[in-house]
């Protein structure tokens, strides 16, 4: 991380020097975009859900394209900054999902069959067993964690009184 920060700082310093010679327009925006790109570059796809990584990855590639263009416009820089910042903020981490699944399992474990139909209760119990298996597998992917959390939640809300 220190190297990324140093590289971003060096890039900003070069931009500042070039801007002082009037060679780069929108240097403040470009500096901001370079810092965001550096922050995004250290993130690892394996730590995030595909659903949130895909738009982030596209925004990062676009930001790199805009930052690398000969003379990016202020509007292109603003759009790239906004899009990258927004998609980065929406990333859902694997650890977060693991914690959410654990909470859902703990709540579900305490739920009792208080007159639910056999079919809905059995579906709920099956979803709970699957959730425990996925949670206990250290190699579960973020997508598996999300899918399992969604399925357990759906089974919970589908419990029907007899």
Place of tokens 């007899």: 162
- Report the greatest alpha carbon distance in the chain: 78
Judge if 17 and 64 occupy the same domain. Answer: yes
* Residue 148 lies in domain: 94-157
φ, ψ of residue 90 to 5 degrees: the values are: -95, 0
Which CATH number is 124's domain given? 1.20.5
Which among 110, 120, 111, 109 is positioned nearest to 162, based on CA atoms?
120
Is the pTM higher than 0.75? no
Judge if 54 and 117 occupy the same domain. Answer: no
The single-letter DSSP state of residue 21 is T
CA gap 141, 101 in Å, rounded: 13
Judge if 35 and 48 occupy the same domain. Answer: yes
Judge if 9 and 85 occupy the same domain. Answer: yes
Amino acid 3: pLDDT? 52
Percent over 90 (pLDDT), the chain: 66
Residues paired with 93 in a beta bridge: 48
Last residue of a domain, one of 89, 119, 140: 89
Q: By 3-state DSSP, what share of the chain in percent is helix, strand and coil, each rounded to 5?
A: 75, 0, 20
Residue 65 CB neighbours (<10 A): 12
Q: Mean pLDDT over residues 36-60, rounded?
A: 92
Please report whether residue 116 resides in a domain: yes
Judge if 53 and 118 occupy the same domain. Answer: no
Judge if 76 and 98 occupy the same domain. Answer: no
CA gap 12, 131 in Å, rounded: 47
CA gap 105, 115 in Å, rounded: 21
Cα radius of gyration rounded to whole Å, the chain: 23
Please report whether residue 99 resides in a domain: yes
Check the CA dihedral 88-89-95-97 and report its sign.
Answer: negative
Judge if 26 and 44 occupy the same domain. Answer: yes
Judge if 85 and 99 occupy the same domain. Answer: no
pLDDT digits (tens, 9 = 90+) for 122-140: 999 999 999 999 999 988 8
pLDDT digits (tens, 9 = 90+) for 53-91: 999 999 999 999 999 888 899 999 999 999 999 999 999
Please report whether residue 162 resides in a domain: no
Judge if 61 and 107 occupy the same domain. Answer: no
Please report whether residue 19 resides in a domain: yes
Residue 117 CB neighbours (<10 A): 14
Amino acid 92: pLDDT? 87
Place of tokens 């070069």: 14
């Amino acid at each position: 991380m220190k190297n990324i920060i140093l590289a971003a700082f060096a890039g900003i310093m070069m931009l500042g020097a070039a801007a002082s010679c009037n060679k780069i327009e929108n240097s403040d925006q470009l500096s901001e975009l370079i810092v965001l790109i550096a922050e995004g570059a250290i993130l690892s796809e394996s730590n995030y859900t595909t659903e949130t990584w895909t738009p982030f990855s596209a925004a990062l590639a676009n930001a790199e394209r805009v930052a690398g263009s000969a003379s990016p416009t202020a509007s292109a820089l603003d759009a790239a900054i906004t899009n990258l910042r927004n998609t980065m903020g929406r990333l859902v981490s694997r650890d977060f999902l693991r914690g959410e699944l654990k909470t859902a399992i703990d709540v579900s474990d305490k739920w009792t069959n208080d007159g639910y139909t056999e079919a809905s209760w059995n579906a709920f119990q099956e979803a709970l067993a699957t959730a425990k298996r996925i949670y206990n597998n250290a190699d579960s992917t973020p997508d598996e964690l999300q899918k399992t959390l969604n399925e357990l939640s759906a089974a919970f809300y589908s419990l029907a009184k007899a």
